[in-house]
A and B are shown apart, each in its own frame.
Chain A
Amino acid sequence: MTKAAEPSAGADPILALSGLTRRFQSGGGFLRPARSMTAVRDLDLTVARGDCVGVVGESGCGKSTLARLAMRLIEPSAGRILFEGADVTHIRGRRLRALRKKLQMVFQDPYASLDPRYTVRDCLEEPFRALGEKVPAGRVEQLLDQVGLPRAFAGNYPHQMSGGQRQRVGIARALAYRPDLIVLDEPTASLDVSIQAQIIALLQDLQRQHGLTYLFISHDLGLVRYFCSRIVVMYLGSVVEVLEDPQAAPAHPYTAALMASSFTPDPTARATIAPMEGEIPSPFALPPGCPFAPRCPRALDRCRSAYPPTVPTARGRVACFNPIEA
């Protein structure tokens, strides 16, 4: 497989993933062999400092696995993770704990990601206690101010707060050590649109104030195009397209289909094109060749037999034998 080198988007990559692969085993037992699936396959990605990279895809595309790999919450089956130029793929112990201060995560479900027995104060002190450090005086109040929660909330339990408030606590917790990079795993997917917009506005403010870098995982292309400065589109474990400009027209048929599937809030601009047929195949039984070929309106014979190489385009890079011309 030939690959276009991932352009070093900006001079100072904070996170660089190369050839990252993660396989999972499932089932298996008496008289039945275990099945294996590749959740993330040979993925290359660099995140420049101060950037906001959006990873978008539907269920089973491997975007959550990617987040957990980047966070070193699960181990990769192959590939390398470089953080600020240092190889952190297999570090453990003290070095891993030091990495945790610079690399934090916000989870999708703000209810499940907070211990129900912890008050807001406990949640915000946990990052310090987890590393055996003293909680700086006034830090909890400072964090609450930063995410726009009243200081009186410090004594509240998660169940006393709304989803949006809980997610603000999740964000404050990620900010505790003033990290460089925050992985945002669908932080607004379980919130109302009105609250989603609040949270996105907060994340933008925080990024500006603290010079943060985001890796934003989402299923909502419209949101990613608004929020991120670079878009990575994934389908069944592979990156199918990278768009350096979020407003650029897509080259991959799947990106185009995703775009056509998100309805704009304007009744005069109703989509007239027929939505893409079929659904995502099971990752345990991938078709040979390009995994998108069975649903692709532009598929060629070649797509069903060989995996398309990643080639650079004017707008980024794309893994497709028959990309849409600009």
Chain B
Amino acid sequence: MTAAAPRPGLLPAVLRSAPVLAFTSWKGAIAGSFLLLLILGALLAPWLTPYEYDVQNLPGAFQPPSLAHPMGTDEFGRDLLTRILYGARTSLSVSGVAIAISLFCGMVLGASAGYLGGRFDRAVMVVVDLTWAFPEILVALMLVAIIGPGTTGTLVAICVAYLAQFTRLTRAQVMSLKSETFVEAARGMGASGTAILFRHLLPNCLGPVLVAGMLATGDAIILEATLGFFGLGAQPPTPSWGGMMSSGSGLLFKGPWIILFPGLCIALTVVAINLFGDALLHKLDIRERVRSA
């Protein structure tokens, strides 16, 4: 415990170090390392593999896993590991960016609805409840149908599909925090509404909302893969995990590894994200953080 404590702000030191602390538990360490490796692999893909993801080599099609091709090759003779690494770029970045945007918009909407209340709150909640009434996949399909298939469409679809969830969560958090005595105390000190929102309400609801965002990223990867599977996601030759599973589904007996490895990647990534989210939630609790620090 040092005397010079960090300033509280929208992003207090707690949050900056919580992901690091999440590694101190077994769950968090394993899941976190997997995710880190995956992200590194995606980033360094051009340097990690000697193959190109889009160059066809028809004579070398349908090779089972070997030393040269650890995950085998697909129906066009492309190295599967290379395509999975490049696919991770699409899957992770599309779902990650979409959730980040969705989270930001949801927090702004939810916090202002919860804090202001009244007509604005009711208007926001009507729209949010309407989207909430449909499954995410349905909302996403509808939006892709409007915008058209591709990376942008997927991104917007995921973004809107999860907006309702984040808005509701932030609103509920803000509304319960609003009646806390420390908020009343801040008003008694003359703090303005904006100051209370940014100094007390948002920092206190940031933890649960960020963890919800983390967990939603897992869901979003599945949603992105589903859209890809339907051929509505990233368009060929850009690899995406969903798209790869889709093309592998017709070749289940000829080359089972073509669908197995992308599927495995999706499953492991989602599990890892959920486990890491769990560990993060635990460490985001300020009491827990100070104890372990």
Contact = CB atoms under 8 A, between A and B. Distances in A.
A and B touch in the complex (CB under 8 A): yes
Interface of A: 71, 73, 96-97, 100-101, 104-105, 107-109, 112-119, 121-122, 126-127, 129-131, 151-152, 154-157, 159-160, 170, 173
Contacts of B200: 115
Contacts of A108: 181
B3 A126 contact: no
Nearest to A98: B190
A118 B191 CA distance: 15
Given A73-B188, A112-B181, A130 B195 contact: yes
Given A71-B188, A105-B188, A155 B5 contact: yes
Contact of B182 (A112, A119, A154, A156): A112
A157 B181 contact: no
| Top-9 shortest CB links A-B | A100-B190, A130-B191, A119-B5, A112-B181, A130-B189, A113-B181, A97-B190, A115-B182, A127-B189
B185 A113 contact: yes
B177 to A, nearest CB: 10
B190 A155 contact: no
Given A127-B189, A156-B1, A116 B286 contact: yes
Contacts of B119: none
A97 B193 CA distance: 13
A112 B204 CA distance: 13
B185 A107 contact: yes
B286 A107 contact: no
Interface string B186-208: 11111110010001100110000
Given A104-B188, A113-B184, A130-B191, 10 more contacts: A100-B188, A105-B188, A116-B286, A117-B12, A122-B5, A131-B189, A152-B1, A159-B286, A159-B287, A160-B290
Given A151-B3, A154-B5, A157-B290, A117 B204 contact: yes
A16 to B, nearest CB: 20
B287 A155 contact: no
A155 B1 contact: yes
A107 B182 CA distance: 9
Interface of B: 1-5, 7-8, 12, 14, 180-182, 184-192, 195, 199-200, 203-204, 286-287, 290
Nearest to B290: A157
Contacts of B187: 73
A215 to B, nearest CB: 13
A157 B188 contact: no
Contacts of B185: 105, 107, 113-114, 170, 173
A268 B254 CA distance: 97
A131 B190 CA distance: 6
A151 to B, nearest CB: 7
Given A109-B181, A154-B5, A155-B3, A117 B286 contact: yes
Nearest to B188: A105
Contact of A122 (B7, B14, B204): B7
A104 B189 CA distance: 7
Contacts of A100: 188-190
Nearest to B180: A112
Given A117-B12, A159-B286, A126 B189 contact: yes
A117 B8 contact: yes
A107 B190 contact: no
Given A117-B204, A157-B286, A126 B191 contact: yes
Contacts of A112: 180-182
Nearest to B177: A115
A88 to B, nearest CB: 13
Contacts of B8: 115, 117-118, 122
Nearest to B187: A73
Nearest to B203: A117
A130 to B, nearest CB: 4
A105 B12 CA distance: 27
Contact of B204 (A104, A116, A130): A116
B189 A114 contact: no
Nearest to A114: B182
A121 B2 CA distance: 11
Residue among B7, B188, B286 with max Cβ neighbours from chain A (10 Å): B188
Nearest to B5: A119
A107 B181 CA distance: 8
A159 B5 CA distance: 15
A180 to B, nearest CB: 15
A114 B180 CA distance: 9
A304 B2 CA distance: 64
